[in-house]
């Protein structure tokens, strides 16, 4: 079966034979890069204006091209645009083909003067990604606001803190939230840096060697909202670092979200019962009526692997290709589209989960045990001038005594404690107070109220920075 005639393609002049239909489909990107239809049209209008300013187009020709492109854009927006399989290889080809049908091929054929699809796709991707990262930034700010607000409102509640998934020391529930909140705040700072490197214009780089008509690249960049130019034409068409870096950023964020989700999955289990997820972010079992599954959190945890895979896959695709544009770079589009959606959706789900879950402060408190204050016991003697290595040993002997007597540490008598070490005084029993324990951790970064409020302030300041 013969493929589409090469004469119908933008590059068809060199070829006389038809193309294998499978190769045609294999080569096409229109069914996913059509996501860039608006960016492609805006870039084409800026390009036509720059060509008009250089005398390549006259005023009437530019006006017709602008009118026609806006009509094409409206067809995409309204869902009326009809893709021609085998002809519309990509969004650039499709838009130019339709423009010719609307305003005539003679004028439409002048649009591409001095321009290559190599630079065109890079412009489209950068503009699209820039806009998506703006949305993702707003989603992340929403998550940080919910985290800070809940931390402030629920600052009184104390729960176990864990190392090695073993109960370690008492902490504030707010302190746990902010441990991830500050990671997300770092992600926000990194995102703002990534956005700056995304927002550089390759338009005017040509296929690889630059533009021969003295086109004003700065004017086009300004019209399209770019901060600056990519100053080497070869780099401009070949660079996909902006996609890789976005995926690296997204993978880091998903790493944090995955760990956050894992904690909440544990905390929502019957064995912990510290939190209960809203029905809106849970599912049931088809077999067991009593089940309430944290699928929202499990999906966040699962989709983190998807995000990492997209990043690593694209890096492996790019690492071995030679300089300037190669068709391998087409493989940067689909993973970018999916990665951005996965990350954006995950942040919004996380915000929904955190803003609607109910905490169970009584269960948090009931999970605390006096042995978690063993370090406080050691610190008591440190304040009396005893070296910590000695107090650590003494506190361990108290833990062992409590286990031997099957008695909680706070129920040991003063005489029993005095029998372990004579330097214990009557006020030793005051150590066994969870609120006092968390308040003692008042140095910056600790779990006292003052430290927690300081962390909230840091997050709020990060949100306000630009």
- Residue 65: its H or E element: helix 59-78
Query: Is 304 considered catalytic here?
Result: no
Angle at 173 (CA atoms; ends 285, 344), nearest 5 degrees = 60
Query: Is 164 considered catalytic here?
Result: yes
Contact 50, 218 (CB under 8 A): no
Contact 305, 248 (CB under 8 A): no
Contact 18, 5 (CB under 8 A): yes
Catalytic option among 7, 138, 269, 285? 285
In the block, which residue shows the tokens 């019957």? 270
Provide the pairing of β-strand 166-172 with 275-276: unpaired
Spatial neighbors of 406 by CB under 8 A, at least 6 apart, are: none
SS3 label, residue 253: helix
Task: State the Cα–Cα distance between residues 202 and 34, nearest whole angstrom.
Answer: 20
Q: Residues 421-424: contacts with CB within 8 Å, 24+ apart?
A: 421/381, 421/394, 421/397, 423/381, 423/384, 423/386, 424/380, 424/381
Helix and strand totals (H; E) in the chain: 19, 6
Contact 409, 398 (CB under 8 A): yes
SS3 label, residue 76: helix
Strand partners, 303: none
SS3 label, residue 288: coil
CA 64 to chain centre: 41
SS3 label, residue 275: strand
Catalytic option among 78, 82, 164, 422? 164
Burial of 274 (0-12, 13-18, 19+ CB in 10 A): buried
- Picking from 295, 269, 291, 270, the residue whose alpha carbon sits closest to that of residue 282 is 295
CA 398 to chain centre: 47
Task: State the Cα–Cα distance between residues 119 and 109, nearest whole angstrom.
Answer: 18
Backbone φ/ψ region at 86: left (φ over 0), alpha (ψ -120 to 50), beta: left
Which residues belong to the active site?
164, 285
């Amino acid at each position: 079966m013969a493929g589409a005639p090469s004469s119908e393609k933008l590059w068809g002049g060199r070829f006389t034979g038809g193309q294998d239909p499978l190769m045609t489909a294999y080569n096409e990107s229109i069914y996913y890069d059509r996501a860039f239809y608006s960016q492609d049209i805006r870039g084409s209008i800026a390009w036509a204006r720059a060509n008009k300013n250089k005398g390549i187009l006259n005023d009437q020709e530019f006006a017709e091209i602008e009118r026609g492109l806006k009509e094409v854009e409206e067809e995409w927006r309204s869902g009326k645009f009809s893709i021609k399989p085998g002809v519309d290889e990509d969004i650039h080809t499709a838009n130019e083909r339709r423009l010719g049908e609307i305003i005539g091929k003679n004028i439409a054929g002048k649009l591409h003067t001095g321009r290559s699809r190599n630079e065109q796709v890079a412009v489209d991707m950068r503009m699209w990604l820039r806009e998506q990262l703006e949305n993702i930034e707003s989603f992340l700010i929403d998550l940080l606001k919910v985290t800070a607000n809940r931390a402030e409102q629920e600052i009184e509640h104390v729960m176990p803190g864990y190392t090695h998934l073993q109960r370690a020391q008492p902490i504030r529930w707010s302190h746990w939230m902010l441990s991830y909140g500050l990671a997300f705040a770092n992600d926000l700072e990194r995102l703002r840096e990534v956005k700056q490197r995304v927002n550089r214009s390759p338009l005017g780089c040509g296929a690889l060697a630059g533009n021969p008509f003295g086109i004003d690249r700065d004017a086009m960049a300004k019209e399209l909202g770019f901060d600056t130019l990519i100053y080497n034409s070869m780099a401009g068409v070949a660079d996909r670092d902006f996609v890789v870096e976005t995926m690296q950023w997204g993978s880091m964020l998903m790493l944090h979200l995955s760990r956050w989700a894992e904690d909440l999955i544990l905390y929502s289990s019957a064995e912990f019962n510290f939190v209960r997820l809203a029905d809106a972010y849970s599912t049931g079992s088809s077999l067991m009526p009593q089940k309430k599954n944290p699928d929202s959190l499990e999906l966040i945890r699962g989709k983190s692997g998807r995000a990492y895979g997209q990043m690593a896959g694209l890096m492996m695709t790019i690492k071995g290709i030679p300089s300037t544009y190669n068709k391998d770079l087409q493989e940067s589009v689909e993973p970018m589209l999916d990665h951005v959606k996965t990350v954006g959706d995950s942040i919004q789900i996380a915000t929904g989960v955190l803003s609607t879950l109910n905490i169970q402060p009584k269960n948090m408190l009931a999970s605390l045990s006096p042995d978690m204050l063993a370090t406080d016991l050691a610190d008591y003697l440190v304040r009396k001038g005893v070296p910590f290595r000695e107090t650590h040993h003494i506190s361990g002997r108290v833990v062992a005594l409590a286990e031997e007597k099957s008695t909680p540490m706070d129920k040991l008598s003063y005489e029993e404690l005095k029998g372990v070490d004579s330097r214990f005084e009557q006020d030793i029993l005051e150590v066994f107070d969870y609120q006092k324990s968390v308040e003692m951790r008042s140095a910056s970064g600790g779990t006292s109220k003052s430290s927690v409020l300081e962390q909230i302030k840091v997050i709020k300041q990060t949100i306000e920075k630009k």
